[in-house]
Amino acid sequence: MFNKDRWKEILEVLTKNWFRTLLTAFGVFWGILILIILLAAGKGLENGIKQDFSGVATNTMFMWTRNTTMAYEGLPEGRSFEFKLSDVQLIQDNVPQLRIVSPRNGLQRTTGIDNVFYGTESGSYRVFGDYPEIIFQNSMYTNLGRF
């Protein structure tokens, strides 16, 4: 229900304290603007991450080795460890919940040094050797030839 006296009183208070009204309006505007910017940035980050992981199965796990950081039972710190092809069969046998195990061999890329050469061309690229099972975990497309 429209009450003329209430609206008259509201306008009177707003015009009497005009600076406070202006600061309050600016504060509300600023808060809403920051909220919109933060929500947009969050949505953009979410979309970017989804795009980066598109084509990768959501229940996929990756394992790789690094050099050790601590000494253990007389073995030195910094020793290297690498998976062998026989480890793939051991993983498949000992973890029956796994549907697909696809080993990957990667050519390590070092910064500033070319690792791929073809004729007079060279470049530093990520190079992988995969088993065919990888196609079920990470969708790949070939432009030419076969998988």
pLDDT in tens, 71-116: 888 889 988 888 888 888 898 899 888 888 888 887 766 666 667 8
The pLDDT, as a whole number, for residue 50 is 84
What whole-number distance in Å separates Cα of residue 101 and Cα of residue 134?
A: 8
pTM: 0.47
Q: What are phi and psi of 24, to 5 degrees?
A: -65, -45
Among 126, 131, 138, which Cα is nearest to 83's?
A: 131
Q: How far is CA 34 from the centre of its chain?
A: 25
Q: How far is CA 105 from the centre of its chain?
A: 22
What whole-number distance in Å separates Cα of residue 69 and Cα of residue 93?
A: 29
DSSP designation for 132: G
What whole-number distance in Å separates Cα of residue 110 and Cα of residue 94?
A: 35
**Annotated domain spans of the chain:** 4-52, 58-147
Confidence of residue 133 (pLDDT cuts 50, 70, 90): confident
The pLDDT, as a whole number, for residue 32 is 98
The pLDDT, as a whole number, for residue 124 is 78
Q: Is 18 helix (H, G, I), strand (E, B) or coil?
A: helix
Q: Which DSSP helix (H) or strand (E) runs through 51? A: helix 18-52
Structure tokens at 77: 């710190």
DSSP designation for 69: S
Q: Is 141 helix (H, G, I), strand (E, B) or coil?
A: coil
